[in-house]
Structure 1
């Protein structure tokens, strides 16, 4: 999404109907006992012409799910399959969410409003279709932080507390409930294609390819549509993986049903920001083998995209072009990683060899020291060590001598935003997540969360070079 949100008028869409009823099931939202508005993202509501809704109207649409005029008359639970921790599962789909509405944004892109915690669907299996309020709060923090750090991510659009006590095995219960709405460029997943391949539906595969090319990439379908779509996903997946690394972010569950065909990051469950550059750091307690560990995320996304290529073989007789595209992931990832790292450092590229040399010593120093990732990028923004820092003693260690030497060639104009003179960088580690939730859980105090969102957005402006 654009990093500069702009106002737009509401322009409803129903593009998903082009695919037809074999791709989704009409569903109804749960009837919740309460509707307490906890979060509304007016910044992004403005981009789709919905910021003028008053709170009662907001709750009517995003708590009771009354249709937005001209958009979808009924919510749709999308059908898909997917690999979950490398095991294929045909019994999934939108199990506690649905596609609620579509519209155009300020850049004339097709946008989706999808839900989480909106009730049971045909794919809920044994689940209750609900979302914990803590899960909603965590998604606010994940999406806001990632957006500020330049990761292409869905936006948490709305959180409405729903008044139901939920039982959960992995957290204190009963716990509070909520329904969330997220804004994204699309909810079609790699798993959507896997389902069609498994069911042997070549005509629907062609239809889905055409839909994605038209609405997400502005291209018309043709004989090489599968190859062009795969090329887009490979390039976008490489950028996504690189941006996760630069942000120090661990998604936690990079299953193929959690990879959008637009490669926009979404669906945040057991996410974490790793405090240090720890390759084996995992976010999910159930990721016992480290499949989706910090440094394995590029591998995971590459593997998922390979499953898309496998699915596309349903309509592609010759595998060689698809294999060649998949094999380009490594070089595209390296290129994206260099660009993302330089961007977070706030410096310009010099030459490929110089850039690789710089990042090699930076990554080595981060890996072998106890320095916080956020602290390092904060202190060295602009290519030179600035002022005094709580990490000064670490920077005097021999491991940072090559960093200082390499950085000298990249030093430029010091960053101008007042954020860069703060004593500490804005971070989002698990201890703070739990503390913010504790304020809500124990005292129903939402101010610390709202203040944190403001602080994150201020950091985002600083990263984009916008002055106060």
Structure 2
């Protein structure tokens, strides 16, 4: 191990009984090279970004060497996948290398995704491909730029080792960060296998290390607090997804973070034209995870978590918390959309005004991101020609604009001040699938500059980036038929 790398790992998960995980070592696959390192993530960890240029860093991430203190493991969990129960899943292509402390003393789990098979690979090869790794790398940073809780990415390590998916592809490893990667499915595994002692140990572990304010509560109140936190952060996460037009694509319970993080990016998609029935996952033929269904699926997954925690806390006490999910979601969602409309006050008629605008977008599939951004140019006492020209039915848009102008006048809104606020919350840039695809195709040809450019733009998506005039447009003709599936 190169002594210049200040990477000293430990891992609190090892405090849990050793039958709750499997020891596993990364298995290098071909020769490796750095594709991209995320300077923001290095800064977050208090590391010099120049470390990414050290061959020892690449060797560490590729599994050729282990850093000091690393004792890699794969964890076991279960889950409901597309509504069907699977009693055992687990980290099939990810291993938990250990934890690093940032300058503030916060701990970050470091996962290697694609570093080889684990005992939970279920006949899989445990590998990741460059295509999907780039998508997750860029989107996790895009979500952070939008202020949405997410796992983060430290680096992409490329490999010349072949990986077979629908076709032969180039392999890669994603170095992924999160406070914890524990999911609803971890709790489901121990509950449904009847290992209730382990279930309590896992719950206590999460509380001790991530929700310490609950630790002093007696049982079962501490577990009710854990569940309420999951309900609240999931409601807020889903509201944020809906507000920015993000579709996850695989909202299985094993892809739901107990801390309300966006996790396991695969066939995701940001809306282009506003279509509530948008299905981003080509594998989701029934549309279970269509954009408009995401809030409902959040509730369904929380109901599964309630069942999993029922050996620790009475369901009659958890049910009111689950029932509160809808109100929590709606409150957060309409607050976010009020901000997108530039409204400072909360009024009873606001949801009707918001829904009318969304209906207007849906009627003609207007571009979701562009239209919200354009709305900042609205003036209370002008004809707003630019907005009207954006819609096929100018008369219907004009009728809504009259209502919006009245609402702005009612709270004494100043046009210039409101426009500035709106442009701070309505992004100009999101990671549209065609942008990701262009970066992927260039990277597959050995050119990683587009990854760097997109990462820079997506870190501050509400700012103007004159150098990125080509990145805020709907998909070009060549990209209209891009399909992403569970292998993405």
TM-score by length of 1: 0.88
Match of 1:38 in 2: 35
Aligned to 1:453: 455
CA contact 1:426–1:456 (8 Å) conserved in 2: yes
CA distance in 1, matches of 2:162, 2:8: 37
Residue 155 (structure 1) aligned with residue 152 (structure 2): yes
Shift of 1:402: 4.5
What is the CA–CA distance in structure 2 between the aligned matches of 1:284 and 1:236, rounded to whole Å? 24
Change (3 A) 1:69 1:406: farther
Residue 200 of structure 1 contacts residue 314 of structure 1 at CA under 8 Å; is this kept in 2? Answer: no
| Alignment partners' CA distance in 1, 2:253 and 2:399 | 39
Deviation at 1:288, TM superposition (A): 1.2
CA offsets 1:422-443 (integer angstroms, 9 cap, x no match): xx932432233222222222x3
Provide Cα deviations, 1:297-347, integer angstroms capped at 9, x if missing partner. 01111111111110111223x3211111111000000011012223444x2
What is the match of residue 3 of structure 1?
A: none
Consecutive unaligned residues of structure 1, counting only runs of 5 or more, are 1-8, 464-468
Runs of 4+ residues over 4 Å off in structure 1: 9-13, 382-391, 414-417, 460-463
Shift, 1:415, TM fit: 4.8
Tell me how far apart the structure 1 counterparts of residues 389 and 458 of structure 2 sit (CA, whole Å).
25
Q: Hey, what does 1:428 align to over in structure 2?
A: 431
Q: Does 1:183 align with 2:177?
A: yes
Corresponding residue for 2:99?
102
Flag the structure with more relative contact order, 1 or 2, with Cα contacts below 8 A and sequence separation at least 6: 2
Over 3 Å counting, the alpha-carbon distance change for 1:327 and 1:393 in structure 2 is: closer
From 43, 52, 55, give the equivalent of 2:53.
Answer: 55
1:21 positional shift: 1.0
Aligned residue for 2:80, secondary structure, equals strand
The answer on whether the counterparts of 1:361 and 1:402 sit within 8 Å (CA) in structure 2 is no
CA distance in 1, matches of 2:134, 2:92: 20
Would the alpha carbon gap of residues 10 and 118 (structure 1) be closer, same or farther in structure 2, given more than 3 Å must change? closer
Unaligned runs of at least 5 residues, structure 2: 1-5, 466-488
Distance in 2, matches of 1:352 and 1:209, equals 40
Give me the CA root mean square deviation. Answer: 2.7
Is the contact made by 2:41 and 2:153 (CA closer than 8 Å) also made in structure 1? Answer: no
Equivalent residue number for residue 372 of structure 1: 367
1:215-260 superposed Cα distances (whole Å, 9 cap, x missing partner): 2223215311211000000000101111111111110000000001
1:356 aligns with 2:359: no
Is the contact between residue 147 and residue 460 of structure 1 (CA under 8 Å) also seen in structure 2? no
- SS of residue in 2 equivalent to 1:112: strand
Using the size of structure 2 for normalisation, the TM-score is 0.84
Deviations 1:21-46 (A, max 9, x none): 12211101012221110111121222
Contact 1:10/1:49 (CA < 8 Å) preserved in 2? no
Conserved 8 A contact 1:110-1:215:
no
1:113 is the counterpart of 2:80: no
Partner of residue 304 from structure 1, selected from 288, 301, 307: 301
In structure 1, the residue matched to 2:317 is: 321
Deviates more, 1:349-358 or 1:235-244: 349-358
Aligned position for 2:68: 69
Q: Please list, as runs of the form range in 1=range in 2, the aligned pairs for 1:2-401 lying within 5 A after superposition.
A: 12-52=9-49, 53-56=51-54, 57-64=56-63, 66-70=65-69, 73-169=70-166, 173-219=167-213, 220=215, 222-223=218-219, 224-316=221-313, 318-345=314-341, 347-381=342-376, 384=379, 392-394=389-391, 397-401=394-398
1:439 pairs, out of 416, 429, 442, with 442
